[in-house]
Amino acid sequence: MEVPLKSTHIPRATIQRLAVYVQVLETLVQEGELVISSDGLARACGVNPSQIRKDLAYFGEFGVRGVGYYVQDLLLAIKQSLGINRTWNVALVGVGNLGRALLRHGVFRRRGFILVGAFDCDPFKIGEEVAGLEVVCSRRLKDKVAELDIEIGMITTPADRAQRAANYLIEAGIRGIVNFAPARISAPDNVFVEYVDFMHHIFSVAFNISLSQTKIPS
């Protein structure tokens, strides 16, 4: 019965919500808002106010009693807590439709995740330039990861190539993987894997629509 240190175990759900808070706080900064209460932020994020206060309490005390949170300060504090007040170099494996779109998508760079390498095993794609990057053979990942100081990999291959892409990344010494391919992958415990699964979101919507149509309206 290990008592998890407050700063050690943070619920996964909390991390997800912190990402939402970052999103909302950044728009608040743009709109010139200086202060926000947990109530106001809660409404904007669609969550319960005490949820927000509890989430923040895992990392420290960022608010001012009777006032609320200074938007800029809170944003910075959350970013520091998440380890995103710095830049991360990212490799993308699989230069298909989705890979290209992500390479060109500004949102990663804007948030400090810099796509510094694009990899594919298709000889027709190797050498091509996408979003200012030359597509490199996946086999050369190991060299490139070391050379470019890459810590995170993104997989955008077809499902049946996802594991191989993961293997290359793992072998190259990457620390974490974001997998956009519709397949589970296996990795050692010290490599963190996250799945971006479009399908589960669409399934969820479809399920809820079906459910609401099945239910007899009272």
Positions that interact with DNA (CB under 7 A): 1, 9, 11-14, 37-39, 47-51, 53-54, 56-57, 61-69
100 binds, among DNA, a copy of itself, none (CB under 5 to 8 A by kind): a copy of itself
In the DSSP assignment, the letter for residue 90 is E
How long is the chain? 218
From a copy of itself, DNA, none, which one binds at residue 38 (CB under 5 to 8 Å depending on kind)? Answer: DNA
Q: Counting contacts by CB under 8 A, is residue 48 touching a copy of itself?
A: no
The reply on whether position 146 binds a copy of itself by CB under 8 A is no
Is 56 a binding residue for a copy of itself by CB under 8 A? The answer is no
Q: 69 vs 88, which CB is nearer to DNA?
A: 69
Q: Does residue 175 bind a copy of itself (CB under 8 A)?
A: yes
Size of the site for a copy of itself (CB under 8 A): 65
Binding mask 81-100 for a copy of itself (x = CB under 8 A): -xxx---x-x------xx-x
Q: Going by C-beta distance under 8 Å and a sequence separation of 6 or more, which residues neighbour residue 105?
A: none
Which CB atom, from 57 or from 121, has the smaller least distance to DNA? 57
Residues 71 and 77 sit within 8 Å (Cβ to Cβ)? no
How far is it, in rounded angstroms, from Cα 42 to Cα 48?
A: 6
Stated as kind and residue range, the H or E segment containing 116 is strand 113-120
Give, in order, the Cα–Cα distances in Å from 92 to each of 66, 67, 185, 217. Answer: 46, 44, 16, 48
Q: Which of 110, 105, 122, 102 is nearest to 179 (CA)?
A: 102
Please tell me whether residue 54 binds a copy of itself under the rule CB under 8 A: no
Minimum CB distance to DNA smaller for 33 or for 39: 39
Q: In whole angstroms, give the CA distance from residue 77 to residue 110.
A: 18
- Cα(168)–Cα(93) distance, integer angstroms: 9
Please give the Cα distance from 51 to 53 (Å, whole number). 6
Minimum Å gap between C-beta 167 and a copy of itself is: 17
Kindly state the helix (H) or strand (E) to which residue 176 belongs, with its residue range: strand 176-179
Q: Which residues bind a copy of itself (CB under 8 A)?
A: 2, 5, 8, 12, 15-16, 18-20, 22-24, 27, 44-46, 82-84, 88, 90, 97-98, 100-102, 104-105, 107-108, 111, 113, 151-152, 159, 175-178, 182-184, 190, 192, 194-212, 214-215
